[in-house]
Amino acid sequence: MHKVPKGMTLVVGLGISGRAICRHLARQEVPFMVADTRETPPGVDDFRAAHPGVALHCGPLSALDLREAAEVVVSPGVDPHAHGLAELTGERIEPRVVGEIALFVRACRAPVAAITGSNAKSTVTTLLGEMAREAGRRVAVGGNLGTPALDLLAETPDAELYILELSSFQLETTPRLGAETAAFLNLSEDHLDRHGDMSGYRRAKLGIFRGARHAVINAEDAMTWPEAPLPAMDRFTIRSPESNEWGIARHRGSEWLMHGATPLMPTGDMGLAGRHNQVNALAAMAMGHRLGFHHEAMCRVLRRFTGLPHRSETIADIDGVRWINDSKGTNVGATLAAIAGLGPTLAGRIVLLAGGLGKGADFSPLGDPMARYGREAILFGADAERLQAALDGHVRVSRVPDLDAAMTRAREIAEAGDCVLLSPACASLDQFPHYQARGEAFRRRAEQYAEEAWHGG
């Protein structure tokens, strides 16, 4: 067994976050070595070039004696309870096992706004970042989205505010975040192979509230509420707001985003489509309000922001049919949010394109909302049969071999006022290298349809 030298920090994992951890420790002049359970991790040559002389152990962690290490810093993709680390986390003996965000907290000297949730956290993080810029703040945005948090410190050391999207993997290794404002948007089944059950998953997510001065929570989802009240809390809701909530209500003959009794803007003026994105906007505004952003600055962002790629992204409107790319909808919760968000806003109905690798998920929750809002579910990929079993009897179902055939079928049956929604509720790896490739395939074909319609084809 190899021993980690006394006083040495051990970095576990050579992925994107692991490399950011190494860069940060090097800048801080903290002595460290690296371990990766893979025998030949990708990027190992680049690592050696960037950190000559830093020891690298490849293979099982159980081959390392960690008892005299100063600290173990794990990448988000590394389970802190994995063999070789479990003894340290389970018995709570030194060294402590922490993650990249714990190092970020130690070094950060500006307020932090943090967002988590099973779905929509990238949209809310990006919205809040745009609102901060519109309000004239020097802001750095990243974390689980885009630039790793530790690299933000080096790239934008003069930031007045750091806005971080954080995953459950990052939060479970963060002893105390201390955010100025922290949002927990929603919770649905995901990552249970890591967290064991929904209770474990929720417990990891609730780490976002440790030391927070303000919480933003979902009034419709008690699983997002902290176990003990925070100094200040705001709730967002799809209903007409009570008291000081952020919600949606009728005003001047149309629906408006509201803060209590104060009207903010008509929902119809938003660049984002769907009720779920109206809720995302309310969560971002609640955080921005806490941070001192003017309402009008936030509303300007909401008018022009049309969404992130592959996240309820409107691609085209063809003969009155809206084509929306939600390829990032890789789990049932994300697809439910898209259906429930878009359905009430349509004059017509939803044509759902779904399928891929379901990761053992229960698809049955999709049945009722598709019965309410769906015209047809067009299914493809490895788990199309399981999806069909869940949707039969609720909505018309057709099976096709792939996404291309699904889009051909959708174009044949969609009517004016409908929405063709790619929200697969599944991973893409059976037919695509990643969800981005799936979304780009949808985009190319939808744009081709739009071009044909423009030319009368």
Q: Which of 272, 218, 266 is nearest to 245 (CA)?
A: 218
Q: Do 271 and 151 share a structural domain?
A: yes
Instruction: Give 92 or 167, the one with higher predicted confidence.
Output: 167
Q: Do 149 and 38 share a structural domain?
A: no
The residue from 121, 195, 276, 289 that is catalytic is 121
> Rounded CA gap, 281 and 302, in Å?
7
Cβ atoms within 10 Å of 90's Cβ, excluding its own: 10
Strand residues in 270-385 grouped as ranges (E): 313-318, 321-325, 350-354, 374-379
Cβ contact 82:150 at 8 Å: no
The residue from 95, 127, 155 where one domain ends is 95
Long-range pairs of 87-96 with CB within 8 A, sequence gap ≥ 24: 95/10, 95/66, 95/69, 95/70, 95/71, 96/71, 96/72, 96/175
CATH number of 26's domain:
3.40.50.720
Cβ contact 66:60 at 8 Å: no
Q: Mean per-residue pLDDT for 186-215? A: 88
User: What is the span of the domain harbouring residue 411?
Assistant: 313-454
Q: Is 277 a catalytic residue?
A: no
Give the strands of the sheet with 321-325, arranged side by side.
313-318, 321-325, 419-422, 350-354, 374-379, 396-399
Q: Do 184 and 38 share a structural domain?
A: no
The residue from 57, 191, 294, 434 that is catalytic is 191
CATH number of 295's domain:
3.40.1190.10
Q: Give the pLDDT confidence score for residue 48 in this predicted structure.
A: 95
Asked if the model's pLDDT at residue 448 lies above 50, the reply is: yes
Q: Do 82 and 11 share a structural domain?
A: yes
Q: Mean per-residue pLDDT for 269-289? A: 95
Question: Mean of the per-residue pLDDT values for the chain?
Answer: 94
Q: Do 130 and 60 share a structural domain?
A: no
pLDDT tens string 97-106: 999 999 999 9
Q: Give the pLDDT confidence score for residue 90 in this predicted structure.
A: 53
pLDDT tens string 119-131: 899 999 999 999 9
Query: Among 85-89, 322-326, 398-402, whose mean pLDDT is lowest?
Result: 85-89
Asked if the model's pLDDT at residue 339 lies above 80, the reply is: yes
Instruction: Count the domains in the chain.
Output: 3
Strand partners, 113: 163, 181
Q: Give the pLDDT confidence score for residue 85 in this predicted structure.
A: 82
Asked if the model's pLDDT at residue 190 lies above 90, the reply is: no
Q: Do 120 and 41 share a structural domain?
A: no
Q: Give the pLDDT confidence score for residue 133 in this predicted structure.
A: 98
The residue from 304, 337, 369 where one domain ends is 304
Q: Give the pLDDT confidence score for residue 375 in this predicted structure.
A: 98
Percent of the chain beyond pLDDT 70?
97
Cβ atoms within 10 Å of 187's Cβ, excluding its own: 22
Asked if the model's pLDDT at residue 400 lies above 90, the reply is: yes
Query: Among 26-30, 64-68, 157-161, 374-378, whose mean pLDDT is lowest?
Result: 64-68
Q: Mean per-residue pLDDT for 290-294? A: 98
Dig out the tokens for 312 from the structure: 């309820």
Q: Do 61 and 33 share a structural domain?
A: yes
Angle at 294 between CA 125 and CA 296, to 5 degrees: 90
Q: Do 120 and 83 share a structural domain?
A: no
Q: Give the pLDDT confidence score for residue 426 in this predicted structure.
A: 96
pLDDT tens string 62-95: 899 988 899 999 999 888 887 778 666 554 544 5
CATH number of 432's domain:
3.90.190.20
Strand partners, 141: 163
Q: How confident is the model at residue 457 (pLDDT cuts 50, 70, 90)?
A: low
Give the number of C-alpha atoms closer than 13 A to the C-alpha of residue 276, restricted to the C-beta side: 23
Q: Mean per-residue pLDDT for 18-29? A: 97
Q: Is 294 a catalytic residue?
A: no
The residue from 95, 113, 143 where one domain ends is 95
Q: Mean per-residue pLDDT for 163-169? A: 97
Q: Is 191 a catalytic residue?
A: yes
Q: Do 242 and 133 share a structural domain?
A: yes
The residue from 24, 51, 119, 144 that is catalytic is 144
Q: Give the pLDDT confidence score for residue 88 in this predicted structure.
A: 67
Q: Do 257 and 118 share a structural domain?
A: yes
Q: Do 336 and 391 share a structural domain?
A: yes
Q: Do 324 and 267 share a structural domain?
A: no
Q: Mean per-residue pLDDT for 45-68? A: 93
Q: Give the pLDDT confidence score for residue 93 in this predicted structure.
A: 46
> Rounded CA gap, 33 and 57, in Å?
8
Cβ contact 130:305 at 8 Å: yes
Q: Mean per-residue pLDDT for 353-364? A: 93
